[in-house]
Amino acid sequence: MPPSLRVLLIDPADEARRILTERLTLQGFTVVECRDGAEGAIAALQSTPAVVVADLSMPSISGVQLCRLLKSESSTSHVPVVLRGPGGQRNRFWAEQAGAYAYVVKGRMGELVRALRRALRRVVEQGPRSDATFFVQSSTEGLDVRERIAAHLDAALFDSVVAAEVRRLGATESFDRLMDLLSQFVSQVTSYRWMAVTRDTPPRFGLHVNANCRERMLAEARTALGVSESMAMVTIEDEDAVDDLEGPPAICERIPFGDGYLGTIGLAPRAPVHHSDPILIKTIARELGGALRMATLVEESRLTATTDMLTGLLNRRAFLEWATRELRRAERYRDSLSVVVLDVDHFKQVNDRYGHATGDNVLAFVGSMLPKAVRSCDVVARYGGEEFVLALPSTPLQGAVLVAERARRTLEEATVQAGNGSSVPVTASFGVAQLNSGETIDQLIDRADRAMYAAKSGGRNRVETAESLPDPRPHASAPVAVHSAAPPHPVHIADFLGGKN
């Protein structure tokens, strides 16, 4: 073994250190002794050893801290560190996490010698590194070695605090909430013009910015992160983001998770750039994957529970929950509420003639067209099968009839492509009802449903109102007919298919 390969031995117990030095010397090692972690760190940084042997628990700094310090310094990053201590999986785990080359239980001299020989063999195989510090500048260049230790421990504390804060975001239940809480944290530890996070699947873009320069910073963030204008986004605007119009280039990092990536985080610092900003963003990106994945899973589970997957509309259960709350609001404020129930005409014949794939296309088409016929405050849902329902808050009967007629015309004027390339016309029958005092949501929908069946009986592709139907209650007075019908000669899907239902 070459005499230039020195072993730096750090052990706080004088007698134990003396005995171990003698044993290692007999084995052919050149040993340099130190009594505590700080003294050993100084010795290692002043004169790089071939390998370091240190106790897991030592005065001043622990073996774990020493290991992380030496790994962070360019002159000692390649030096194998063998940590010694009590047995136990936990001690071995922390040694591995610190980057130790090996962990040896105290008293096992043979195992220690074998670990040292393997480590020294690796040093020899890697060759000299005399030029390493010439090309790599230490982040603590020019500091006293004790200041260097303090700086590294401060950096380790910074890293652990940031990591802990980001991991707490795993409790968020949506991307938007995660973005809000992340901006609240990051704005406390640095100053920036904007901060943004993108999620690859499903695509989502979050931006924290000062309202005074929103559009300019939005364009800058989109360019820096490669975000298209079509990507769905959430914007958080407050004074925690500075309103500087110019500044240094954005710092961007991909967000890893498992073997891939989930998105990107970007931060546009204000001038001058703080030296910790790149480290901050790198640390956040490293830890954000778990929280981002958890928020996405919660969103997906909620979407599955409330959304009809074929049409993208609310499902029956979610609609009834919303409509029940809206009914209470309408009753409390004596506001009007109307519902429209519609059923696709001759849908069974479409399935029989063109197949269920074309039938699904028809339903998906209806689901995409109906939201365009209503206001943003209205709710559209797939109620079951080929039946859909619209809830129209603050809308009396006549207004709901106009909405239903508009939707009827929209469907009548469009066609859906079948698998064989032919065009399949789509029509639907509509029933409309307005909420009566003391009525439940089930009763309201039932009246609209009966009106829809009346529209089917009256020739399909038309609008009927519940008020135009005979009142099923005994001794009820004759109802006043208020309904909207289709044009005199509507085009029915049955005519196209050749036959009547």
Q: Is 266 helix (H, G, I), strand (E, B) or coil?
A: strand
Question: Alpha helices of 201-333 — where are they, by DSSP H?
Answer: 214-225, 277-306, 316-332
Structural contact between residues 170 and 290, judged by C-beta atoms closer than 8 angstroms: yes
Q: Report the C-alpha gap between 392 and 445 in whole angstroms.
A: 12
Catalytic residue among 386, 405, 412, 467: 386
E-state strands within 286-412: 337-344, 379-384, 387-393
E-state strands within 100-216: 102-105, 192-199, 204-209
Q: Is 366 left (phi over 0), alpha (psi -120 to 50) or beta?
A: alpha
| Nearest alpha carbon to residue 369 among 351, 352, 390 | 390
pLDDT, position 47: 85
Tokens of 160: 């652990």
Question: Alpha helices of 73-108 — where are they, by DSSP H?
Answer: 89-98
Strand partners, 82: 53, 102
Domains of the chain and CATH, by start: 6-136 (3.40.50.2300), 157-305 (3.30.450), 316-497 (3.30.70.270)
Query: Mean pLDDT, consecutive 10-residue segments, the chain of 501 residues?
Result: 72 88 86 88 87 86 85 84 85 82 88 86 67 39 60 73 90 93 92 97 96 96 95 94 94 96 97 88 96 93 88 94 94 95 95 92 95 92 96 96 95 87 92 95 96 95 88 47 42 37 43
pLDDT, position 252: 97
| 386 labelled catalytic | yes
User: Looking at residue 307, what DSSP letter applies?
Assistant: B
pLDDT, position 87: 83
pLDDT, position 471: 60
pLDDT, position 310: 94
For 79, other C-beta atoms within 10 Å of its C-beta total 21
pLDDT, position 127: 64
Beta-sheet pairing, 251-257 with 387-393 = unpaired
